[in-house]
Amino acid sequence: MRQAVAGLCKQVNGHKVEVVGRLVIRHRDTNASRSSAKTRHTFDYKVDLPARLAQAVLPMFVRVVNEVDCETRTPEEWARRIKRHIRAGNLRAWVASIAWWDYAHNKAGDDLLSLCEPLPRFYGGDAEALCSALRGLGFPDPEERVRQVMGATKRKVNAALAKLKPVKTRIK
């Protein structure tokens, strides 16, 4: 017999994040394609997940919890957390600018923006330190965000663009 796990559910800053089941009632013309199905009703319900399925869903659930946590923080809360967890000046300014860009609701005149000081012109940064700082602040996918900031994503795009012939294009 398979072991069932109670539904994944967590309260995050006044928001409820939960894994639920969905029952969909739809109809389609038997002579039409599969994509022609029309949904008539949907119902969400709590579901007990088999342990293996819960294990597979858990990383996505944790990511959504982190996303909701980050999206619902105020700029003041971001600023407090950054000041508390990050001591190095350049890293603090760098992390603050990423948090401001990704999650600031008001784009000017708040505590978070005041931490976003310009970085030195040839500041290369440290990918591991940045990833550790973002992880410490609860970013949903710090490794992917660091790849974007450090240019790995940009390099992949440039490599794909370089394969296009005869036009050569480059993202700077």
Each residue's pLDDT tens digit, 133-165: 999 999 988 888 888 888 755 566 556 656 655
* Domain residue spans of the chain: 4-71, 74-158
According to the model, what pLDDT value does residue 124 have? 78
DSSP letters for 45-70: EE-PEEHHHHHHHHHHHHHHHHHHHH
The mean per-residue pLDDT over the stretch 11-26 comes to 85
Q: What is the DSSP letter of 3?
A: P
Q: Is the model's pLDDT at 95 over the cut of 70?
A: yes
The 3-state DSSP class for residue 16 equals strand
